[in-house]
Amino acid sequence: MNERAELERQARVTVAAIEEAADGRRWALAGALALHAYEVGGPVTEVTVVALEPLAPPLPPGATTDDTDCLWTPDGGLPVRWTTRDNHYATLWWRSLQDVAGEPPVVGALALLALLLVRRDQAEGVIGLLAEGVVDADEARAFVLEHLGPFALDTLNDLLLHAEWELMKRRHTRGGDVH
């Protein structure tokens, strides 16, 4: 089985396990698997789920929890991080679940970009969303400023420079314009 087919199989198993664990709670994908939904691929080492409510007992087998996250790996699936936030990002979590599309549900592109900025280890995903044109730079700036504040906006502006650099490299490699 090739890598893509194996990832798709693991994703199906994982999403089924998430749906079962959610037990009717509202949730959406918001990490590497969500990036794949926007065709901004990369390695998937964990499936991030955003939700407003924590999982209720009984938790999935092998699950560990802390104040905001529940971690588990379904049999034959990918590691899952079920994330709920009751801290200063609560409005972002609420907003993320207002603009959900697809099956399985995936947060909107602007919310995904902001959630990736919060993680701080997801710069490649942010750059991919910008460089691939999934997210408009001005809309991203406004969304980030509203939901994360001026310090996150500085980080976004740095990543926008990287996205522009990626586009310039592609133009040079392809010998023409990239739209």
For the chain, the domains span 3-174
Q: How many CA atoms lie within 13 A of 76 on its CB side?
A: 8
Structure tokens at 153: 């906006």
DSSP per-residue codes, 80-92: EEEE---STTHHH
pTM: 0.86
> What are the beta bridge partners of residue 106?
29, 101
Residues 6+ apart with CB under 8 A from 83: 30, 48, 49, 50, 51, 68, 69, 93
pLDDT of residue 3: 84
Residue ranges of the chain whose pLDDT lies below 70: 1, 86-87, 174-179
Q: Kindly report the CA angle at 121 between 67 and 17, in degrees rounded to 5?
A: 55
pLDDT of residue 175: 61
pLDDT of residue 1: 67
- Say if residues 114 and 147 touch (Cβ distance below 8 Å): yes
